[in-house]
Structure 1
Amino acid sequence: MTEWTQSRVRDLHDDLVTLYEPVDREEAHGADPDANPGAGVRQLLTTILSQNVADQNTRRAADSLFERYDTFADIEAAEQAELEETIRVAGLPTQKSARIQRALAAIRDETGGAYSLAFLDAMSTDDAKGWLTDIKGVGPKTASVVLNFHFGKPTMAVDTHVERVSKRFGLVSDSATNEHAHDQLGNLVPDELTYPLHVLLIRHGRTYCTARNPDCDNPVCDAYCTCSGC
């Protein structure tokens, strides 16, 4: 198996771009994510909702949450049974409602009353990630999404697609836990590629390198994949 280096990761990124198209961060997330002080908090709550659920149900749950409650304070103060019902479509409503309210309480305590994650911008990437993951129920994937998508910090978010494709390509070891996969990819992927490679690996995992019956008849799998289908 060929050893992975940052140079080879750049080659993989370029080959994925050739197969799909370049990733435009501004098109996906807007040019100025800090224009709305609450955008980072909204990103965090939406990412909590997205844990272990399909994208369409995440969107439905997020729409339901932000339509029902006018402010983050209202969400934090909501009766848990009501909040659970509001987000039920996302699954695990008891756990996710508790995680959402714990996250909001932690933010309010940190800022002295404001619901804003702006303070994370001044922190180092490791400190910001540590602050988020200290909240029970916020793991490395949720923290990495918020820090990369909203603040542009070099964190590699590893969802199920990224983890599956990375293991099949040998980017991370087969036995790696999700937390260790974050560590391994964080050390390997060049900072400027953490966002576009995340998006491209998800696209590849959905299009070709699916969990069941992967379609390996494509140039990227030919060049990098080590799974049995190849």
Structure 2
Amino acid sequence: MSTQTWDETRVRALHDDLVSLYEPVDRTAEHGADPTAEPGEGVRQLVTTILSQNVADENTRRASEALFDRYDDFAAIEAADHEELKETIRVAGLPDQKAARIQRALTAIREETGGAYSLAFLDAMATDDAKDWLTEIKGVGPKTASVVLNFHFGKPTMAVDTHVERVSKRFGLVPESASNERAHEVLGEQVPDELIYPLHVLLIRHGRENCSARGADCDNPVCETYCECEYC
């Protein structure tokens, strides 16, 4: 782990160096809706993000397709037989827990809005309040909330998945002993708002292509500058 002190200047330099190693992040080309999209798009993203918890992207895609092919709308998903819903999304793993989380989330949204399946009300809320509302739903943690708020609403919330957490700790952005929840807090404080989305994408790419969990390939200028992990 790097022993360098991090400040805004160094965070911006890391972003620029990652851009040089890979390419600039074009938000419009990445996944995620926008606040002006159909009202249900935010809900769909929340449901899909719950499905994605602790599972590969391909299995998330398959489970999401199966879910939305089987049920006509969110009301049908909320009212679905739990065992049937479990089987529908089984490919995503943890089907019992994820089925319950999805139905709890849909119930919370419907009750909050008075019957609509829309997260549009979050757009007018302060970022911390919106994140608190989502994480009050059992099974919706800071990563899931941050994905929805940043990707759909453009709010400055850093989603810390396994790649972001691993790379951030190896670079010393986040203390090695920090929990995932604490990592969200630290990166939220350190990263300038306008860099949260692109740096999230770039850290994931670096984690996938170079800074893997085992046998990392540190023969690149970013690792040479920022990392002092066991593979460097």
**Runs of 5+ unmatched residues, structure 1:** none
Q: Deviations over 1:21-52 (max 9, x none)?
A: 11111121478442211110000000000000
Q: Pairwise mapping of residues 168-187 of structure 1 onto structure 2 (< 5 A)?
A: 168-187=170-189
**Runs of 5+ unmatched residues, structure 2:** none
Q: Name the residue aligned to 1:104.
A: 106
1:223 aligned to which of 198, 222, 225: 225
Residue 78 of structure 1 deviates from its aligned partner by 0.2
Q: Name the residue aligned to 1:10.
A: 12
Q: Distance in 2 between matches of 1:54 and 1:27?
A: 21
SS at match of 1:142: helix
| C-alpha distance 31-183 of structure 1, shift in aligned 2 (>3 A) | closer
Q: Name the residue aligned to 2:89.
A: 87
1:70 aligned to which of 66, 69, 72: 72
1:131 aligned to which of 130, 133, 140: 133
Residue 2 of structure 1 deviates from its aligned partner by 1.6
Q: Name the residue aligned to 2:116.
A: 114
| C-alpha distance 218-24 of structure 1, shift in aligned 2 (>3 A) | same
Letter paired with 2:132:
G
Letter paired with 1:153:
K
Letter paired with 1:189:
V
Residue 207 of structure 1 deviates from its aligned partner by 0.1
1:213 aligns with 2:215: yes
1:41 aligns with 2:43: yes
| C-alpha distance 76-162 of structure 1, shift in aligned 2 (>3 A) | same
Q: Distance in 2 between matches of 1:93 and 1:226?
A: 39
| C-alpha distance 31-133 of structure 1, shift in aligned 2 (>3 A) | closer
Letter paired with 1:42:
R
TM-score of the pair, normalised by structure 2: 0.97
Residue 133 of structure 1 deviates from its aligned partner by 0.1
Residue 74 of structure 1 deviates from its aligned partner by 0.4
TM-score of the pair, normalised by structure 1: 0.98
Pairwise CA RMSD = 1.0
Q: Pairwise mapping of residues 121-160 of structure 1 onto structure 2 (< 5 A)?
A: 121-160=123-162
Determine if contact 2:127/2:156 at 8 Å carries over to the other structure: yes
User: Relative contact order: is structure 1 or structure 2 higher (C-alpha 8 Å, sep ≥ 6)?
Assistant: 2
SS at match of 1:34: coil
Letter paired with 2:147:
V
Q: Name the residue aligned to 1:24.
A: 26
Q: Distance in 2 between matches of 1:35 and 1:162?
A: 28
Q: Deviations over 1:97-131 (max 9, x none)?
A: 00000000000000000000000000000000000
Q: Name the residue aligned to 2:194.
A: 192
Determine if contact 2:34/2:153 at 8 Å carries over to the other structure: no
SS at match of 1:43: helix
Letter paired with 2:169:
K
